[in-house]
A and B are shown apart, each in its own frame.
Chain A
Amino acid sequence: MGLISQAKGESEEAAHSGMSPNFITTRLDLLTNWARTGSLWSMPFGTACCAIEFMASAASRYDLARFGMERMSFSPRQADVLLCAGRLPFKLAPVIRRIWDQMPQPKWSISMGACASSGGIFDTYAMVQGIDTIIPVDVYVPGCPPRPEGLIYGIMLLQKKIRGEQLTDRSLRVEHMVGPEGLFLPAEKIDEVSEPFGNSVHQTRSA
């Protein structure tokens, strides 16, 4: 595939160098992934303190614009990345599912912080134990909350992942995988990943 060069005026000079100025040949994968990598528009789903760190990452000192993410997409319909920054209560579960469904392909998601990834310290009746029980997650960023450097590293990991994608791989763009019960994961799997861990195991179910 070719990309038409805009620099017509330079063609004569370039002709002397023995290279054609008008066409660049490249792999479509490479070009598409390069474009997607550099223009990740994020849908910020900030629910807690992680959102503050996320705002700090977007502000001038850490400057997410360097990674092509300066444009926060507050409409899911123009977004590429769902960035869940903070804990997700069960009351918000149908909301994040709906936002995810509204985002067009190609789309990715980042789970920022301990609570979004695992429920964190909130092993309670009200909290989803990891947003990966609701939507698919590409990158988990650990931390409570993660520093902007941590988030930026997570974003760079996502960019690395995107660079490795193949357009011909249909499995990457499966639209939605909700079972007959409306669950994204099988029920046993949700129970398994929601088991208490760390300090939570010392809490009894009735106390």
Chain B
Amino acid sequence: MSTSIAALQAAFGPAVLRRAESCGDTIVYLARDQAYQILAWLKTTPGQDFNYLTDITAVDYRDPELPLEVVYQLRSLERKVDLRLKIQLDKRQPLEVDSVWGLWKGSDWLEREVYDMFGVTFRGHPDLRRILMWETYAEGYPLRKDFPLRGHFSRAEQTRQALAANPEGNYSLEELSIAEAYHELPVEMRERLQRGERGEVR
């Protein structure tokens, strides 16, 4: 574990901001703009081999002065070691980090969940949409600390908006598995899809 930290600091110097120990786990804080390179380096460098992305999540602290943290939990399946990396985002600035979808395809839904719950934008994500809440959800990002437990709107308004949502509107064409059969679809449906009512036609 510590060899990784030392190698990281040797390779990236000031982009590795600081390290902390918590419950036996090592946490490394990364500078936002170099984070993608560092994660790529950790994945591909022999001797590091962090080839498994366990989770991406985020932490919002109650103190408004503290930054919002995006957390990456990596694991090397061969070496059987874990590494936790954090990127701190100033809440007064736009919450943006680079997507790691190019490194781990499994980050697709993880990043969508962080976007849905915290409003962090992942630059370069191929399909950044809400994943738990429905797409027309208008109340904000529920896991932010400034989000009221019962939501911003009245119960009646929440019910009205929920009932107005299209239950099938959360799915893209690919998820509905009809993209390949596009040319066999009825004309009316093709027109509807072409108008962009749902998903994207390829």
Q: Hey, which bits of chain A sit against chain B, CB under 8 A? A: 90-91, 93-95, 97-98, 123-126, 128-129, 133-134, 181-183, 187-188, 190-191, 194, 196, 203-207
Once the chains bind, are A190 and B149 in contact (CB under 8 Å)?
no
In-complex Cβ contact of B150 among A125, A128, A181 (8 A): A125
What does DSSP make chain A's interface, helix, strand, loop or mixed? loop
Assembled-state Cα–Cα distance A133/B146 (Å): 28
Residues of B within 8 A of A98 (CB): 167
**Is there a chain A Cβ closer than 8 Å to B162's Cβ?**
yes
Q: How far is the CB of A173 from chain B (nearest CB, A)?
A: 23
Once the chains bind, are A129 and B155 in contact (CB under 8 Å)?
yes
Q: How many residues belonging to B are interface residues under a CB distance threshold of 8 Å?
A: 24
Select from chain B the residue with minimum beta-carbon distance to A193: B155
In-complex Cβ contact of A183 among B146, B156, B165 (8 A): B156
Assembled-state Cα–Cα distance A190/B157 (Å): 9
Select from chain A the residue with minimum beta-carbon distance to B153: A125
Assembled-state Cα–Cα distance A68/B149 (Å): 43
List the count of A-B residue pairs having beta carbons below 8 Å apart: 75
Once the chains bind, are A128 and B165 in contact (CB under 8 Å)?
no
| Sample of 10 further A-B pairs with CB below 8 A, known A125-B148, A125-B151, A188-B156 | A90-B158, A90-B159, A91-B167, A93-B163, A94-B162, A94-B164, A94-B167, A95-B167, A133-B155, A187-B157
Q: Hey, which bits of chain B sit against chain A, CB under 8 A? A: 132-134, 139, 142, 146-151, 154-160, 162-167
Residues of B within 8 A of A181 (CB): 160
Residues of A within 8 A of B166 (CB): 94
| Known interface pairs A134-B159, A190-B156, A194-B155; A203-B164 also in contact (CB < 8 Å) | no
Once the chains bind, are B155 and A182 in contact (CB under 8 Å)?
no
Residues of B within 8 A of A183 (CB): 156, 159-160, 163
| Known interface pairs A91-B162, A94-B165; A191-B149 also in contact (CB < 8 Å) | no
Q: How far is the CB of B22 from chain A (nearest CB, A)?
A: 25
Residues of B within 8 A of A187 (CB): 154, 156-157, 160
Once the chains bind, are B133 and A91 in contact (CB under 8 Å)?
yes
Q: How far is the CB of A200 from chain B (nearest CB, A)?
A: 9
Once the chains bind, are A97 and B156 in contact (CB under 8 Å)?
no
23 A–B contacts from the bound complex (CB under 8 Å): A90-B158, A91-B132, A91-B134, A91-B162, A91-B165, A125-B147, A125-B148, A125-B151, A128-B162, A133-B155, A134-B163, A181-B160, A182-B163, A182-B164, A183-B160, A187-B154, A187-B157, A190-B155, A191-B154, A191-B156, A204-B149, A205-B150, A206-B148
Select from chain B the residue with minimum beta-carbon distance to A189: B156
Residues of B within 8 A of A95 (CB): 167
Once the chains bind, are A126 and B159 in contact (CB under 8 Å)?
no
